[in-house]
Amino acid sequence: MRCAGTKRLEELCAQNQHSSFSGLKPRFNAKKEATFHSSAKRTQTQLQKPQSKSGDEDIKQWNVAISSYMRNGRCNEALRVFERMPRWSSVSYNAMISGYLRNGEFETARKMFDEMPERDLVSWNVMIKGYVRNRSLGKARELFERMSERDVCSWNTMLSGYAQNGCVDEARRVFDRMPERNEVSWNALLSAYVQNGRLEEACVLFDSRENWALVSWNCLLGGFVKKKKIVEASKFFDGMSVRDVVSWNTIITGCAQNGKIGEARKLFDESPVKDVFTWTAIVSGYVQNRMVEEARELFDKMPERNEVSWNAMLAGYVQGERMDMAKELFDVMPFRNVSTWNTMITGYAQCGDLSEAKSLFDKMPKRDPVSWAAMIAGYSQSGHGHEALRLFVQMEREGGRLNRSSFSSALSTCADVVALELGKQLHGRLVKGGYESGCFVGNALLLMYCKCGSIEDANDLFEEMTGRDIVSWNTMISGYSRHGFGEEALRFFESMKREGLKPDDATMVAVLSACSHTGLVDKGREHFYTMNQDYGVRPNSQHYACMVDLLGRAGLLEEAHSLMKAMPFEPDGAIWGTLLGASRVHGNTELAEIAADKIFAMEPDNAGMYVLLSNLYASLGRWGDVSKLRVRMRDKGVKKVTGYSWIEIHNKTHTFSVGDEFHAERDEIYAFMEDLDLRMKKAGYVSKTSVVLHDVEEEEKERMVRYHSERLAVAYGIMRVPQGKPIRVIKNLRVCEDCHSAIKCMAKITGRVIILRDNNRFHHFKDSSCSCGDYW
């Protein structure tokens, strides 16, 4: 439809074809600005002349047309009308400026305001509001101070601008300067206090006057709920003489979200008026309190439902891992938004049903960053790291917007599969996207570098981080510990304390691990026995496991066993496993068998513990006991975990198993291994065949250890990784003693730096030594 007054406007336009503005382009350019500036003088003269009544009526018609075009987003048409006007009033300018601001054309509005021949109070207020909406509070304040005349609207605009941008103290200063205030003024300051968590000041302001509007009562009630002060909220609600549906919805939501679902239901039943939000609040409350049956009962009674209602009920089934019921509800939903699809995808992914999650993901009519992040996280957390990274690359190719969550999941996956090169590329994209500075992504980057074996890059990033929290420090302490640099880990611990951060449970686990990996027994004992007194950290099972490991590595097996007996809780399988591992290293069969019996009773399917005990028997030549263990494993259906190693080269991952027969370059690798083996023997390397768990000839044992997966991966790295770059290999199991010695020799004769991550720690091989100091 044509806007009001269009017919009269067409007549006026026909009469004014001679206007100097006709035929110009609808946007401000250099030619137009010059014409606009010269014509402004003519208009100012016209405005000073008395006008006829009919002329004023005509101008009103022009202004009405401008406002109508602007309301409909038709800025170009509005400008054409403005250009053809016989003269301009301040109302004409104000209509244009406010229209441009409404349609996001801030710069055009600013230029027109600056060129105005005469401004009235409305002009100033409109432009100040434009600066506020553009978050240019400094410019808004500058304009405000230039005003010769202000009304309450001027003051409220500045007050609201500061309030909405979190500048509460500045908002209060404006409020205190105001010559007069209205309800908008009081409510703006009250909202500023509430929205920024300054509830005490909000209460003081509220108590300073009477006759508050209902919207203000609801605002403060919402403040109590937001701060989880439900007792105070309930008392405040009881004191309200007038309540509307917003009041009831706020208190019901507050009670439901803070564990008072019984009180929420009572209020729901008492509420004299209920809308769809009231019903949704109580349904969501039941869902959040994991009372899905009660939620469904009310959901079925709802007189009307909206998207939030359906999504809340769906989330209840997903949280309870009742994906069959979730699917049933999903299939009958009258409308689905992207959040609906994301909830289902997340639910299937968390239940491990990645095929169903991917099927839904592929069917989505529209995806958002949460959709991609949910699917990437699902693959990553289920151990499908390479699928997660492939999906991340696909997201970028399809133009999917990256967010912190998708970056974090991708970085976590890079850490798990040691994809350092891709991790570095992600780091570069994070910097470009402006995500790097925050702790959330910064800590994910730190962990990625630590887990990928690049502790130097982690340290460089840590030094550059502007916001470091306890997680940042714990990651570095743990990183240095796992890399075998215990002294450096402890230096970070002391630096953290000097920064004023209080150590937590995770900090002390990292500190005790550092002492364990480095053999600092006395320091470890000191930290363990004083951490409760010094930092309020009570020893838990992880701390005890670290101490048992520390004492066990040092050969203090009886002390470790005594500590376990004195624990305030029963040792779990992990602690007994630590004692078993130490007993194997130090050849204590009696203690190893005690530990093994405990573990087999707790975790009868733990293949790793069978292997540790079998290793001990084999090292002592007790082949009969080795055979008995194998029979026991077979009878119980326990299967040994297959060992494999992998290496990333040019963004491609190469995986090896023992005696690998499937790699495309197999023949070249084995030929290189034969030559390398001869060079190693000339350098003095002798195989430690005691690690072989089979009663075979010595020559056969040497052949068996020569082609372990980690040695094949390292050999391939020597072949393909450019000279001067570290070779980074990961193994899913602990590196065997013979391979550890062999890789030290390989590093020496090739002059390469080799970094190996097994399931326990990092080993940095250089020349003929390892960062673990052979204390592993």
203: Cα separation from own chain's centroid? 34
User: Does pTM top 0.85 for this prediction?
Assistant: no
pLDDT of residue 564: 95
Regarding predicted confidence, which is higher, 488 or 103?
A: 488
pLDDT average, residue stretch 47-69 = 64
Radius of gyration, alpha carbons of the chain: 36
Could you tell me if 436 and 427 are in contact, meaning their C-beta atoms sit under 8 angstroms apart?
yes
Q: How far apart are CA 216 and CA 208, in angstroms?
A: 13
Q: What angle do CA 233, 239, 243 make, to 5 degrees?
A: 85
Q: How far apart are CA 80 and CA 25, in angstroms?
A: 8
Specify which of 93-97, 147-151, 354-358 reaches the highest per-range mean pLDDT: 354-358
pLDDT average, residue stretch 742-759 = 94
Q: Tell me: the pLDDT tens digits for 470-528? A: 999 999 999 999 998 999 999 999 999 999 999 999 999 999 999 998 889 999 999 99
Domains of the chain: 455-601 (1.25.40.10), 644-770 (no CATH)
φ/ψ of 176, rounded to 5, equals -70, -25
pLDDT of residue 187: 87
Q: How far apart are CA 201 and CA 479, in angstroms?
A: 44
Q: Which amino acid is at 458?
A: A
Q: What percent of the chain has pLDDT over 90?
A: 39
Per-residue pLDDT for 280 more than 60? Answer: yes
Regarding predicted confidence, which is higher, 160 or 407?
A: 160
φ/ψ of 756, rounded to 5, equals -115, 125
Per-residue pLDDT for 619 more than 80? Answer: no
pLDDT of residue 361: 93
Task: Return the number of other C-beta atoms located less than 10 Å from residue 61's C-beta.
Answer: 19
Specify which of 90-104, 175-189, 369-383 reaches the highest per-range mean pLDDT: 175-189
Per-residue pLDDT for 51 more than 60? Answer: no
**First CA to last CA across the chain, in angstroms?**
82
Distances, alpha carbon 481 to alpha carbons 47, 488, 545, in Å:
80, 8, 15
Q: Where is average pLDDT lowest: 7-21, 110-124, 181-195, 528-542? A: 7-21
Where are the extended beta strands (E) located within 578-690? 644-649, 652-657
pLDDT of residue 183: 87
* Three-state secondary structure string covering 332-375: HCCCCCHHHHHHHHHHHHHCCCHHHHHHHHHHCCCCCHHHHHHH
Question: In a 3-state reduction of DSSP, which class is residue 554?
Answer: coil
pLDDT average, residue stretch 424-429 = 78
pLDDT of residue 10: 44
Q: Where is average pLDDT lowest: 159-163, 409-413, 720-724, 752-756? A: 409-413
Q: Tell me: the pLDDT tens digits for 8-36? A: 444 444 444 333 333 323 333 444 344 33
Q: How far apart are CA 761 and CA 776, in angstroms?
A: 9
pLDDT of residue 475: 95
Per-residue pLDDT for 112 more than 50? Answer: yes
